[in-house]
């Protein structure tokens, strides 16, 4: 199927080409040697030992014995080899992190390429043909998980704040790179003595467009490890994502022109139109699928188990649908993930959310590993044509083009930016422009007939990839340290910041209205209003649609702290298996007045104290935001006597505390409660009914103690400074007969639901503490 | 400067570009808007702000409007509110949202940040006692949540509580006095919010 036959002029040809189609039919999904076959063909060649060739008759005495054990590799060959590759990739990943110093010096991508080289060499030595990274395999299987992972967890706020800059870099920067490299290479090829006269202008420009695109996989792989500040990360990463549209269009354009031979103004104009169609079309397709996914997730409250599947399927369909029309699949995927995320997250259960997160990370991690290994293997497997001039010039020109492009663009962009990009920033942006497997796959797709110098191109592409990944990838970390570039802040987002961010939004919108401007705050506010009024009602189930962002943030924060607390305190069991319960909104015993003070034996008390001591010391270290950071070493002192002294102090403070530290429970119908009820988690932890005889550890955000609280309470309220008592609101031991004063708003039935909600999140391994999806940055 | 209508105290307007940092064109368009809002009367009152429709949808509109009449924002040392303001005060308040100059020294940037945070602080501190009490903070949160009808007051209180606790935590203060925040503490807790780059408008 030669698509060149159908391509007449540039006008009609754009839709005719298939970037990822059967031109490489002989390499479709090729992962094994020539004698390989699909699963089906294996069946046709079942070894005869299974099927007797002659019908056995009574007179025949079979001469061969019935096979007890037979070797039939062919019919499992394909899945077997795929699994073997994936297993190899995962074991490699495992291995790197076991070697202590290696992973801090060399980025993973380099190591994986080296492994690929070794494996490819091995396969060659054995006599087989090593597989090549087929374009179909790459574009349809390996690339989507990585892009989806990036798109789903894209931090929207920094992205939209910088979208102008990102677009400039992606579109104008890539165009500049492509033309600069392509044009100058053509000039070099025309020089005498290089034996490159056959390479014509179109081919050079095509090569330029392939090599100029910054690769998201490589950027992700390297930037993740250096923890650079958010702005730079989103700039380089956003650029690598958005330049896909440009690459697609340029690739098609130059391919057509190379075949057709001539370029007219009409073609250039059509190229621009094509670009807009490809980019906007991709985004539109992605957005449609995103809305569909959000809508579907509204109804999944009874079938929580398959919720993650919807997210993955709709996204993949968006990608494939965009590819059908030769729109930008990457942009479709990003748009789908970004659009569906706020609504889907409001609808799905906590477990599904964790599942989605971990599956995406797992798939993208494996994909990335496989891509780099295959790059190494393909290097060994491919036919190379090394031409010193061409390759060296390519590498140098790429670097020069990138630097010039970044500097020039920054100069123009800084006129419009409030936060200017400094020279250091520019350096990192230029240095972070890594090339990767996409360039290789695109080069691989070139038709040998029309591009006889394809091998030379491939060699040059691989060299550039190796150079950027090895040299730039390895040196970027020490350079970042050397230049003292701002790193990612580890601080959690505090509620004060959240409040003030929202406050500022409203304030700026208000001032804009007063001054009569229609600036971007005004439009953002309108969009939010529209979202709140119509969209959320459609796409979010139940009462969550009315939950304001601040409240959602607050609950999320509390949930996180609860999980952290339990994680750190878990592993030590209090006798009689009463788990430490987190009283986020005052999980209180049902009838506090009925509980009698426990009478514990001394040994029991000792036991419990010891356990709590170890538990809580660990917890204190983790719970930073609500605990004082100047904790004194061991606040737990032995001996009951001191307790009584301090208890008096605590009581006085407790009264003051009462004033402003009560954290009342949310309204009975609060959305989080409703969600808890909806959580189809039949396997709730078997929480034993609270027995009266065990004092429970209750983490309370409020800590007033009633005078009736038992001795045990004071165990925790004796830091050397009395004021620390208030700060123990993070963690406090409450006797079952706890303070009566908080309890005017008692809702007994909530207790049970609280427990269940707790169970739902406690039985969940939960995301690790440092993961913060509010500002997710692909940790 | 002859383009100004024969307004009162025209000599004041000559100093405005230096005092506020706006260019003459920007001042001109602001003046037009000012006149539009006050119906050509020359002074602006609180009721005049109700004409702006989109502002009525804003949850913190009362605070914003109040800020225009708060004497503390006029770069003077007086305290209290006025009933009506002239163009000079209008522009002074709006100048808090001006983009920073391109080549600022570190001290200038820090000074600007302080100024903007002071403006925010004054907005919260409604009784002008130089501290933000828990009650005042609670009002802020209630305002922010006011567009959602289903929220109970207690949730707002809960959030205000935890916010105050955080303040005490970060500033290392004793819990006994954590009922109010001074400007210095406010400055400290908002140091991660890049006010000088966020609190800007293009004119």
Name the average pLDDT for chain B.
75
Q: Kindly state whether residue B9 falls inside one of the protein's structural domains.
A: no
Q: Which of A11-25, A140-154, A186-200, B126-140 has the lowest mean pLDDT?
A: A11-25
Q: How confident is the model at residue A691, as a pLDDT? A: 45
In the predicted model, what is the mean pLDDT of residues A224-237? 86
Task: Give the list of residues 6+ apart from residue B106 with CB closer than 8 angstroms, or none.
Answer: none
Name the average pLDDT for chain A.
71
Q: Kindly state whether residue B137 falls inside one of the protein's structural domains.
A: yes
Q: How confident is the model at residue A670, as a pLDDT? A: 47
Residues A450/A155, Cβ–Cβ less than 8 Å? no
Residue B89 and residue B111 share a domain = no
Is a pLDDT exceeding 50 seen at residue A752?
no
The CA angle A745-A747-A753, to the nearest 5 degrees, is: 140
Is a pLDDT exceeding 90 seen at residue A607?
no
* Set of chain B residues whose Cβ sits within 8 Å of the Cβ of A514: 37, 49, 52, 55, 64, 68, 94
Q: How confident is the model at residue A231, as a pLDDT? A: 87
Binned at pLDDT 50, 70 and 90, residue A363 comes out as: very high
Is B190 in Cβ contact with A496 (below 8 Å)? Answer: yes
Residue B72 and residue B148 share a domain = no
Say how far residue B90 (Cα) sits from the centre of its chain. 12
Q: How confident is the model at residue B102, as a pLDDT? A: 67
Q: Kindly state whether residue B199 falls inside one of the protein's structural domains.
A: no
Is a pLDDT exceeding 90 seen at residue A759?
no
Is B123 in Cβ contact with A507 (below 8 Å)? Answer: yes
Last residue of a domain, one of B97, B124, B148: B97
In sequence order, what are the beta bridge partners of B182? B131
ipTM of this complex prediction, to 2 decimal places = 0.89
| Domain span at B84 | 14-97
Give which of A158, A160, A513, A669 to mutate to test B binding, by max B Cβ within 10 Å: A513
Residue B70 C-alpha, separation from nearest chain A C-alpha, in angstroms: 15
Give which of A411, A660, A670, A704 to mutate to test B binding, by max B Cβ within 10 Å: A660
CATH at B43: 1.10.238.10
Is a pLDDT exceeding 60 seen at residue A478?
yes
Is a pLDDT exceeding 70 seen at residue A495?
yes
* Set of chain B residues whose Cβ sits within 8 Å of the Cβ of A728: none
- pLDDT top residue among A741 and A350: A350
Per residue in A619-677, pLDDT tens? Answer: 554 444 333 333 343 444 344 445 555 665 666 565 555 554 444 444 444 454 445 44
Is a pLDDT exceeding 80 seen at residue A36?
no
Residues A180/A404, Cβ–Cβ less than 8 Å? yes
Q: How many domains does chain B have?
A: 2
Q: How confident is the model at residue A5, as a pLDDT? A: 33
Question: How far is A743 from A734, CA to CA, in rounded Å?
Answer: 14
Q: How crowded is residue A531: how many other Cβ atoms within 10 Å of its Cβ?
A: 14
In the predicted model, what is the mean pLDDT of residues B167-175? 65
Q: How confident is the model at residue A3, as a pLDDT? A: 33
Question: How far is A488 from A93, CA to CA, in rounded Å?
Answer: 25
Q: How confident is the model at residue A386, as a pLDDT? A: 82
Is A510 in Cβ contact with B60 (below 8 Å)? Answer: yes
Residue B90 and residue B124 share a domain = no
In the predicted model, what is the mean pLDDT of residues B25-31? 82
Q: Kindly state whether residue B196 falls inside one of the protein's structural domains.
A: no
Residue B92 and residue B18 share a domain = yes
Residue B122 and residue B62 share a domain = no
Is A515 in Cβ contact with B201 (below 8 Å)? Answer: yes
**Could you tell me the two tokens for A382?**
């491919």
Q: How crowded is residue A684: how many other Cβ atoms within 10 Å of its Cβ?
A: 15
Main-chain phi, psi angles of A639, to 5 degrees: 95, 135
Q: How confident is the model at residue A193, as a pLDDT? A: 65
Last residue of a domain, one of B68, B97, B126: B97
Residue B111 and residue B88 share a domain = no
Is A729 in Cβ contact with B64 (below 8 Å)? Answer: no
Strand A732-734 to B44-45 pairing: unpaired
Q: Quick one: which of A318, A319, A307, A288 has its CA closest to A345?
A: A307
Q: How confident is the model at residue A676, as a pLDDT? A: 47
Local structure of residue A448 (DSSP, 8 states): T
Say how far residue B30 (Cα) sits from the centre of its chain. 17
Residues A434/A472, Cβ–Cβ less than 8 Å? yes
Main-chain phi, psi angles of A583, to 5 degrees: -100, 85
Q: Which of A336-345, A347-356, B146-155 has the lowest mean pLDDT?
A: B146-155
Question: How far is A173 from A571, CA to CA, in rounded Å?
Answer: 53
Question: How far is A159 from A138, CA to CA, in rounded Å?
Answer: 27
Q: Kindly state whether residue B115 falls inside one of the protein's structural domains.
A: yes
User: How long, in residues, is chain A?
Assistant: 779
In sequence order, what are the beta bridge partners of A704? none
**Could you tell me the two tokens for A273?**
């139109």
Residue B89 and residue B140 share a domain = no
In the predicted model, what is the mean pLDDT of residues A150-161? 87
Is the CB of residue A653 less than 8 Å away from at least one CB of chain B?
Answer: yes
Binned at pLDDT 50, 70 and 90, residue A122 comes out as: confident
Q: Kindly state whether residue B40 falls inside one of the protein's structural domains.
A: yes
Is a pLDDT exceeding 80 seen at residue A133?
no
Is the CB of residue A666 less than 8 Å away from at least one CB of chain B?
Answer: yes
Per residue in A290-318, pLDDT tens? Answer: 999 999 888 888 888 888 999 999 999 99
Give which of B102, B158, B167 to mutate to test A binding, by max A Cβ within 10 Å: B158
* Set of chain B residues whose Cβ sits within 8 Å of the Cβ of A626: 162, 165-166, 169
B161 → closest Cβ in A509, A653, A661: A661
Residue B86 and residue B30 share a domain = yes
Q: How confident is the model at residue B156, as a pLDDT? A: 73
Binned at pLDDT 50, 70 and 90, residue B7 comes out as: very low
Last residue of a domain, one of B97, B132, B166: B97
Q: Name, of A81-85, A734-738, B185-189, B196-200, the range with top average pLDDT.
A: A81-85
Per residue in B108-165, pLDDT tens? Answer: 778 888 888 888 888 888 777 777 777 787 788 778 777 666 666 777 777 777 777 7
Q: Which of A436-445, B3-12, B187-196 has the lowest mean pLDDT?
A: B3-12
Per residue in A174-183, pLDDT tens? Answer: 999 999 998 8
Residue B87 and residue B134 share a domain = no
Residues A509, A515, A518, A520: is their CA dihedral positive or negative?
A: negative
Is a pLDDT exceeding 70 seen at residue A732?
no
Is a pLDDT exceeding 50 seen at residue A33?
no
Q: How confident is the model at residue A694, as a pLDDT? A: 46
Q: How confident is the model at residue A548, as a pLDDT? A: 72
In the predicted model, what is the mean pLDDT of residues A388-401? 89
Binned at pLDDT 50, 70 and 90, residue A763 comes out as: very low
Residues A705/A735, Cβ–Cβ less than 8 Å? no
Q: Kindly state whether residue B81 falls inside one of the protein's structural domains.
A: yes
In the predicted model, what is the mean pLDDT of residues A264-269? 83
* Set of chain A residues whose Cβ sits within 8 Å of the Cβ of B152: 666-667
Residue B90 and residue B150 share a domain = no
B-contacting residues of A 563-592, CB under 8 Å? Answer: 585
Residue B158 and residue B114 share a domain = yes
Is B64 in Cβ contact with A510 (below 8 Å)? Answer: yes
Residue B89 and residue B51 share a domain = yes
In the predicted model, what is the mean pLDDT of residues A371-399? 86
pTM: 0.68
Q: Is A127 left (phi over 0), alpha (psi -120 to 50) or beta?
A: left
- pLDDT top residue among A658 and A276: A276
Is a pLDDT exceeding 50 seen at residue A761?
no
Q: Kindly state whether residue B118 falls inside one of the protein's structural domains.
A: yes
Binned at pLDDT 50, 70 and 90, residue A403 comes out as: very high
In the predicted model, what is the mean pLDDT of residues B12-22? 73
* Set of chain A residues whose Cβ sits within 8 Å of the Cβ of B155: 551, 554, 664, 666-667, 670
Percent of residues, chain A, with pLDDT higher than 70:
64
């Amino acid at each position: 199927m030669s698509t060149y036959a159908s391509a007449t002029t540039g006008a009609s040809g754009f839709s005719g080409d298939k970037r990822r189609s059967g031109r490489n039919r002989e390499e479709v999904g090729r992962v094994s040697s020539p004698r390989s076959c699909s699963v089906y063909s294996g069946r046709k060649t079942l070894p005869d030992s299974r099927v007797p060739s002659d019908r056995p008759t009574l007179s025949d005495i079979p001469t061969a014995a019935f096979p007890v054990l037979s070797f039939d590799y062919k019919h499992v060959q394909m899945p077997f080899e795929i699994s073997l590759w994936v297993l190899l990739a995962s074991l490699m990943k495992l291995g790197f992190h076991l070697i202590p110093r290696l992973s801090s010096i060399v980025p993973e991508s380099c190591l994986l390429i080296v492994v690929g080289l070794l494996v490819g060499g091995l396969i060659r030595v054995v006599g087989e043909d090593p597989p090549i990274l087929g374009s179909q395999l790459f574009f349809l299987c390996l690339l989507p998980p990585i892009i989806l992972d990036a798109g789903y967890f894209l931090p929207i706020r920094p992205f939209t704040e910088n979208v102008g800059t990102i677009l400039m870099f992606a579109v104008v920067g890539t165009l500049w790179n492509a033309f600069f490299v392509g044009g100058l290479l053509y000039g070099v090829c025309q020089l005498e003595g290089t034996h490159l006269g056959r390479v014509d202008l179109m081919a050079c420009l095509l090569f330029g467009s392939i090599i100029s695109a910054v690769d998201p996989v490589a950027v992700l792989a390297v930037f993740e490890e250096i923890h650079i500040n958010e702005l730079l990360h989103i700039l380089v990463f956003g650029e690598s994502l958005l330049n896909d549209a440009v690459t697609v269009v340029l690739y098609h354009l130059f391919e057509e022109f190379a075949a057709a031979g001539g370029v007219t103004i009409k073609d250039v104009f059509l190229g621009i139109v094509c670009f807009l169609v490809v980019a906007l079309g991709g985004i539109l397709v992605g957005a449609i699928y995103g809305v569909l996914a959000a809508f579907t997730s509204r109804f999944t409250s009874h079938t929580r188990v398959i919720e993650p599947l919807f997210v993955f399927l709709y996204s993949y369909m968006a990608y494939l649908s965009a590819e059908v029309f030769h729109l930008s699949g990457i942009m479709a995927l990003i748009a789908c993930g970004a659009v569906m995320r706020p609504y889907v997250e409001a609808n799905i259960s906590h477990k599904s959310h964790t599942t989605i997160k971990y599956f995406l990370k797992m798939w993208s991690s494996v994909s990335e590993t496989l891509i780099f290994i295959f790059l190494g293997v393909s290097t060994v497997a491919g036919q190379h044509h090394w031409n010193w001039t061409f390759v060296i010039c390519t590498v140098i020109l790429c670097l020069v083009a990138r630097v010039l492009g970044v500097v020039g663009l920054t100069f123009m962009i800084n006129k419009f930016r409030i936060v200017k990009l400094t020279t250091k920033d520019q350096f990192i942006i230029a240095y972070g422009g890594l090339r990767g497997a996409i360039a290789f796959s695109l080069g691989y797709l070139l038709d040998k007939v029309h591009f006889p110098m394809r091998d030379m191109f491939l060699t040059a592409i691989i060299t550039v990839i190796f150079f950027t990944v090895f040299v730039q990838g390895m040196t970027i970390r020490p350079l970042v340290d050397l230049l003292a570039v701002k790193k990612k802040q580890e601080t959690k987002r505090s509620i004060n910041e959240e409040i003030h961010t929202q406050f500022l939004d409203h304030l700026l919108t208000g001032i804009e209205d007063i001054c009569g401007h229609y600036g971007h705050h005004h439009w953002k506010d309108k969009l939010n209003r529209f979202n709140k009024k119509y969209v959320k009602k459609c796409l979010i189930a139940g009462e969550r649609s009315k939950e304001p962002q601040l409240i959602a943030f607050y609950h999320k924060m509390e949930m996180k702290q609860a999980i952290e607390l339990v994680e750190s305190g878990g592993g030590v069991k209090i006798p009689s298996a009463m788990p430490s319960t987190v009283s986020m909104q005052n999980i209180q015993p049902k009838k506090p007045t009925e509980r009698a003070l426990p009478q514990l034996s001394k040994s029991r008390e000792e036991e419990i104290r010891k356990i709590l001591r170890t538990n809580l010391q660990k917890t204190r270290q983790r719970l930073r935001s609500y605990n004082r950071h100047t904790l004194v070493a061991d606040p737990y002192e032995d001996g009951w006597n001191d307790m009584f002294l301090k208890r008096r102090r605590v009581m006085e403070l407790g009264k003051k505390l009462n004033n402003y530290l009560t954290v009342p429970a949310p309204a009975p119908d609060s959305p989080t409660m409703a969600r808890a009820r909806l959580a189809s988690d039949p396997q709730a932890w078997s929480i034993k009914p609270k027995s009266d005889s065990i004092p429970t550890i209750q983490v309370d955000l409020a800590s007033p103690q009633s005078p009736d609280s038992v001795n045990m309470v004071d165990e925790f309220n004796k830091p050397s400074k009395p004021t620390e008592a208030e700060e123990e609101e993070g963690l406090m031991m409450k006797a079952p007969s706890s303070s009566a004063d908080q309890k005017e708003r008692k809702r007994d039935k909530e207790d049970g639901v609280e427990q269940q909600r707790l169970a739902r999140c406690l039985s969940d391994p939960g995301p690790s503490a440092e993961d913060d999806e509010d500002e997710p940055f692909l940790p | 400067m002859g383009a100004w209508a024969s307004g009162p105290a025209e000599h004041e307007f000559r100093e405005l570009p230096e005092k506020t940092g706006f260019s003459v064109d920007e001042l001109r368009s602001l003046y037009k808007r000012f006149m539009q809002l006050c119906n050509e009367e020359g002074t602006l009152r609180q009721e005049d702000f109700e004409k702006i429709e989109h502002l009525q949808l804003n949850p913190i509109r009362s605070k914003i409007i109040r800020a225009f009449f708060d004497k503390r924002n006029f770069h003077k040392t007086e305290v209290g509110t006025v009933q009506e303001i002239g163009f000079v005060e209008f522009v002074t308040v709006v100048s808090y949202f001006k983009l920073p100059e391109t080549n600022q020294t570190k001290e200038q940037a820090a000074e600007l940040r302080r100024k903007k945070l002071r403006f925010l602080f004054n907005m919260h501190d409604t009784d002008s006692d130089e501290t933000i009490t828990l009650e005042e903070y609670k009002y802020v949160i209630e305002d922010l949540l006011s567009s959602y009808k289903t929220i109970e007051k207690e949730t707002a209180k809960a959030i205000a509580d935890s916010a105050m606790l955080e303040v005490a935590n970060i500033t290392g203060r004793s819990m006994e006095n954590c009922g109010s925040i001074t400007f210095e503490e406010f400055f400290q807790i908002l140091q991660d919010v890049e006010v000088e780059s966020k609190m800007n408008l293009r004119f």
